Chains A and B, each alone.
Chain A
Amino acid sequence: MFFSSTLRSAVSNAARHVRSLHQTSARAGAGGLFVHRDTPANNPETPFEFTPENMKRVDAIINNYPEGHKAAATIPVLDLAQRQHGWLPISAMNKVAEILGVAPMRVYEVATFYTMFLRQPVGKYHIQICTTTPCMLCDSDSILEAIQNKLGIKVGETTADQLFTLTEVECLGACVNAPMVQINDNYYEDLKPSDIEQIINELKADRVPPPGPRSGRFSCEPAGGLTSLTEPPPGPGFGVRPDL
Chain B
Amino acid sequence: DLLCGTQETPKKTKFGPLADQDRIFTNLYGRHDWRLKGALRRGDWYKTKEILDKGVDWILNEIKVSGLRGRGGAGFPTGMKWSFMNKPSDGRPKYLVVNADEGEPGTCKDREIMRHDPHKLIEGCLVAGRAMGARAAYIYIRGEFYNESSNLQVAINEAYAAGLIGRNACGSGYDFDVFVMRGAGAYICGEETALIESIEGKQGKPRLKPPFPADVGVFGCPTTVANVETVAVAPTICRRGGTWFLSFGRERNSGTKLFNISGHVNNPCTVEEEMSIPLKELIERHAGGVRGGWDNLLCVIPGGSSTPLIPRHVCDTVLMDFDALIQAQTGLGTAALIVMDKSTDVIRAIARLIEFYKHESCGQCTPCREGVDWMNKMMWRFVKGDAQSAEIDMIWEISKQIEGHTICALGDGAAWPVQGLIRHFRPLMENRIADFKQKQQARA
- Contact at A227–B338, with CB atoms within 8 Å? no
Shortest C-beta distance, A35 to chain B (Å), equals 15
Name the B residues within 8 Å of A235 (CB-CB).
Answer: 41-43
- Taking residues whose C-beta sits less than 8 angstroms from the other chain, chain A's interface range is 35 or more
Given A110-B201, A134-B105, the answer on whether A234 and B185 have CB atoms closer than 8 Å is no
Question: Considering only CB atoms, which chain B residue lies closest to A66 in the complex?
Answer: B219
Contact of A211 among B40, B105, B147, B336 (CB under 8 A): B147
- Contact at B29–A219, with CB atoms within 8 Å? yes
**Chain A, range 23-54, C-beta contacts under 8 Å to B:** 30-31
Question: Contact string, A222-237, partner B, CB cutoff 8 A, digits 1/0?
Answer: 1110111111011111
A7 interface residue (CB < 8 Å to B) = no
B251 interface residue (CB < 8 Å to A) = no
B186 interface residue (CB < 8 Å to A) = yes
Given A218-B31, A222-B288, A227-B271, the answer on whether A110 and B203 have CB atoms closer than 8 Å is yes
A73 CA to B198 CA in the complex, in Å? 10
Name the B residues within 8 Å of A136 (CB-CB).
Answer: 348-349, 352
B187 interface residue (CB < 8 Å to A) = yes
Shortest C-beta distance, B179 to chain A (Å), equals 5
A20 interface residue (CB < 8 Å to B) = no
B330 interface residue (CB < 8 Å to A) = no
Taking each of B105, B147, B348, which has the highest tally of chain A beta carbons within 10 Å of its own beta carbon? B105
Shortest C-beta distance, A182 to chain B (Å), equals 6
A169 CA to B103 CA in the complex, in Å? 12
One of A8-16, A148-156, A173-181, A196-204 contacting the partner: A173-181
A170 interface residue (CB < 8 Å to B) = yes
B264 interface residue (CB < 8 Å to A) = yes
Contact of A137 among B40, B111, B244, B344 (CB under 8 A): B344
Question: Contact string, A65-89, partner B, CB cutoff 8 A, digits 1/0?
Answer: 1100101111110110000000000
- Contact at B112–A109, with CB atoms within 8 Å? no
- Contact at B147–A178, with CB atoms within 8 Å? no
- Contact at A113–B349, with CB atoms within 8 Å? no
Contact of B340 among A76, A137, A237 (CB under 8 A): A137
Taking each of A114, A138, A176, A218, which has the highest tally of chain B beta carbons within 10 Å of its own beta carbon? A176
**Chain A, range 184-198, C-beta contacts under 8 Å to B:** 185-187
A82 CA to B356 CA in the complex, in Å? 25
Contact of A117 among B30, B184, B267 (CB under 8 A): B184
Q: List 25 A-B contacts (CB under 8 A).
A: A64-B179, A64-B181, A72-B219, A75-B182, A75-B183, A75-B184, A76-B182, A110-B202, A116-B185, A133-B305, A137-B338, A138-B263, A175-B105, A175-B268, A176-B108, A218-B31, A219-B112, A221-B28, A228-B286, A229-B29, A229-B31, A233-B41, A233-B42, A237-B43, A239-B21
Residues on B facing A (Cβ under 8 Å): 17-18, 20-21, 23, 26-32, 40-44, 46-47, 50-51, 54, 93, 102-108, 111-112, 116, 142-147, 179, 181-187, 198-204, 219, 239-241, 244, 260-264, 266-273, 285-288, 305, 336, 338, 340, 344, 348-350, 352-353, 356, 359-360, 362
Other contacts beyond A109-B203, A136-B348, A138-B263: 19, CB < 8 A: A31-B359, A79-B184, A102-B201, A106-B201, A113-B203, A114-B184, A132-B353, A137-B340, A173-B142, A174-B111, A176-B261, A176-B269, A222-B287, A223-B267, A228-B273, A234-B42, A236-B40, A240-B240, A241-B244
